[in-house]
Chains A and B, each alone.
Chain A
Amino acid sequence: MMHAPILPLLLPLLMGSLLLLGHRLELPLKRLLSLAATWSLVPLSAWLVWLAGDDQLRVYALGDWQPPFGIILLLDRLSAMLLLLTAVLAGFALLYACRGDDERGPNFHALFQFQLLGINGAFLTGDLFNLFVFFEILLISSYALLLHGNGAERVRAGMHYVVLNLLGSALFLLGVGTLYGLLGTLNMADLAARVAVADASQTPLLAAAGYLLLTVFALKAAILPLYFWLPRAYASASAPVAALFAIMTKVGLYAILRVFGLIYGSQAGELAGLANELLWWLALLTIAAGVVGALSARNLQRLLAYLVVLSVGVLLAGLAMDSQTALAAALYYLLHSTLIGGAMFLLADLVSRQRGAEGGDLTQGPSLRQPLLLGGLFFLGAISLAGLPPFSGFLGKLMLLRAAEPGEALWLWPVVLVAGLGMLLALSRAGSALFWRPGGDVIEGEDDRVRLFATIGLLLGGPALVIFAAPLMAYVEATARQLRDLAPYLNIIGGGA
C-alpha cells in the first residue's frame, strides 16, 4: 500500500490531538485509547519492516509534491527497524505508566503520543528541515514529560535540559541554513548528490555546516563533552518516561548516521568521512566517562543513566569505524541497549517503590518484598548490560570487537573490555547494596502485577534478541549493506526510487 509510510505519523498525531481535545475524559478511557494507539504501532511497524525487507527504498511524497521540491518520507530498512523498536519500547513503557504515573497531570497520554509522533517522524523523514521540525516536536513533548509530576529536582534537571536543547536548536538552524545557502536544497538525497559535485571553494563552509550539525546531534545523543545534562535528567524523570527516553539518545545517533553516512557519505569526495576520526576518539572517551560516572553513582537511576551514556559511546564507536560489519554490529547493539536500558529503568522503579524513603539510593535500606524475583530480574538485566554471555549484550559487543581492524582493535578492545568490567563492578555493587544488605523490616504495600509484567516484557527482549539472533543478524547486515550503497538514495531525485 502506497500510504503505508505515513501511518506511523498519523496514528499518534490523531490520537494525541484527540486526547488533547478530550482532556476532560475519564482516565480509564484515555488509558485505553492511548494504549490502543501505541500498541497498534507494533503490528504496523512490523508490517513496515516486512515491506522494507525487499531492499527497495520507499519514498512518500507529501501532498504528491515531487522531490526535491516537496518534503518526502523515506522508508528503508533502518527507519523501519527503528520504528518497530520505538513501538515495542513505548508500548511497555506506556503500560507501566498506566498504573499510576499518568495520574499526576491531565495530559500525560497526549504528550506521550506527541512524543511518539516526533520520534517516528525523525526516523522517517528524508528532509533536513523536516528533521528539525520533528526534533522540536519530540523535544517539546519530552520537556513536558520530563517535568511531569513536578518536584524541585525535576525542575532543576529540566531547566538545564530545556536551555541546552534550545541552544542546540539554534545551532541546528544555522547548520541547515548554511547548507541551503550553499547547495539550494534541503532534501537529504539531493544534498548528498550536490555535495558530491560542489565547488572546491565551498568545501570549508560545507565542513563547517557539517560540524554545526554534528554538535547538535552530539548534544541529543549525549556524546562526551555534551552529555552532562543526561544523568540528572534521566535520573529525575519518572520511570516510564526514562524508559522511553532510552530511544531519544538513539535519535541523535540516527541523525549522525543519516547526515554523515549519506550527505557526507562516500560520494562526497574530499568531505567523505568528515567526522569519523573525531567521532572515533569521542566515542572512546564517552565510554570512559560513562564507566567513571557509573562507578561513582550513589543512586540506581543515576547509575543506569550513566550506562546509557556508555552505550552511546559503544554505538558511536561502531559508526565511526565506517565499515559494513561494524555498522551491522552497532545496529544490533542498538536494539539490545535500548530494550534492556529501558527495562532497567522500569525495574529500578519497582525496586525503589519497595524501599520507601530510600528509593533508589545505594545505601542500606528496608528489605524488599520480592527479593528473589526482583533480584533475579536485576541479575538478568545486569549481565545483559555488562555484556556477559549468554545474553544480547555479549553478542553485540562480540560482533563489534570482531569488526575492528587491527589498528582500531588496539584501542577498542581494551576500552570496551575494561568498560565491561567497570559496568560489572558498578552493577554488582548496586545489586549487593539493594538485595543482599537489607537493614530493616519489609515495608508492607501492594505489588502491582502489571508493572511487573511490563518490566519483564521489556527485559525478555534480551533473551529474545539471542534466540532470534540469526534472522536479526541477517536483517542488520542487510541494513548496513543498504546504508553503505548510496546509489539508490542518490537516484531518488532522478525520479526513480
Chain B
Amino acid sequence: MEALFAVTLGVLTASGIYLILQARIFPVVLGLTLLSYAVNLFLFAMGRLAGGVPAVIGRSAEYGDPLPQALVLTAIVIGFAMTAFVVVLALRSLGETGTDHVDGREPGK
C-alpha cells in the first residue's frame, strides 16, 4: 500500500506543478487543486498507513492516530476557501485585463 500511496502522491504533485507552470488561470487553478489533494493525502499518511485499527486507545495494542485527520480536515477547509477565492480573482482578472494569462498580459506584448 505504501508504494501505491507514494506513487499517487508523486503523480498528483508532478501534475499539479506542471499545470501551475502553464501560467494560464484555469490550468493554474486545477494545478493548485491537485497539489492541495497531494498535500492532504500526504498529511493523512503521516499518521502511518494501517487498516482495521480502532481509533480508541485501550481497545487494542495498536490504535489509529486521530490527529492527522483533524489536520487534513482543517487543510481541506482552508484549501477550499482559497480555491474559491482564486476562482473569483481569476474572473475579475479576466474582466479587468482581458486575458487569462497570470501576468495579466499576453506574453510578448
Contacts and interface: CB of A to CB of B under 8 A. Distances in A.
Given A160-B102, A167-B32, A178-B46, A147 B89 contact: yes
A181 B46 contact: yes
Given A143-B85, A150-B96, A152-B96, A163 B28 contact: yes
B102 A163 contact: yes
B85 A140 contact: yes
7 contacts: A155-B93, A159-B90, A162-B85, A167-B20, A176-B71, A177-B71, A180-B68
Contact of A133 (B46, B78, B85): B78
Given A155-B93, A156-B97, A174-B42, A163 B78 contact: no
Contacts of A181: 45-48
Given A133-B78, A150-B96, A155-B96, A163 B20 contact: yes
Interface of B: 20, 25, 28, 32, 35-36, 38-39, 42-43, 45-48, 67-68, 71, 74-75, 78-79, 81-82, 85-86, 89-90, 92-93, 96-97, 102-105
A142 to B, nearest CB: 12
B74 A133 contact: yes
A155 B39 contact: no
Contact of A159 (B36, B68, B104): B104
Contacts of A32: none
A372 to B, nearest CB: 39
A147 B85 CA distance: 12
Contacts of A129: 71, 74
Contacts of A136: 78, 82
Interface in A134-153: 136, 140, 143, 147, 150-152
A177 B28 contact: no
Contact of B42 (A140, A147, A155, A177): A177
A460 interface: no
A177 B46 contact: yes
Given A155-B92, A180-B43, 14 more contacts: A129-B71, A140-B81, A143-B89, A147-B89, A147-B92, A155-B93, A156-B105, A159-B102, A166-B82, A174-B39, A176-B71, A177-B68, A177-B71, A180-B67
B42 A166 contact: no
A136 to B, nearest CB: 5
Contacts of B45: 181
A169 B82 contact: yes
A155 B81 contact: no
B93 A159 contact: yes
Contacts of B104: 152, 155-156, 159
A384 B71 CA distance: 45
Most chain A beta-carbon neighbours within 10 Å: one of B35, B45, B75? B75
Nearest to A179: B46
Contact of B89 (A151, A152, A159, A186): A159
Contacts of B97: 152, 155-156
A150 B96 CA distance: 9
Contacts of B46: 177-178, 180-181
Contacts of A443: none
Contacts of B89: 143, 147, 155, 158-159, 162
A268 to B, nearest CB: 21
Interface string A167-198: 10110011011101100001000000000000
Most chain B beta-carbon neighbours within 10 Å: one of A140, A160, A173? A173
A207 B6 CA distance: 20
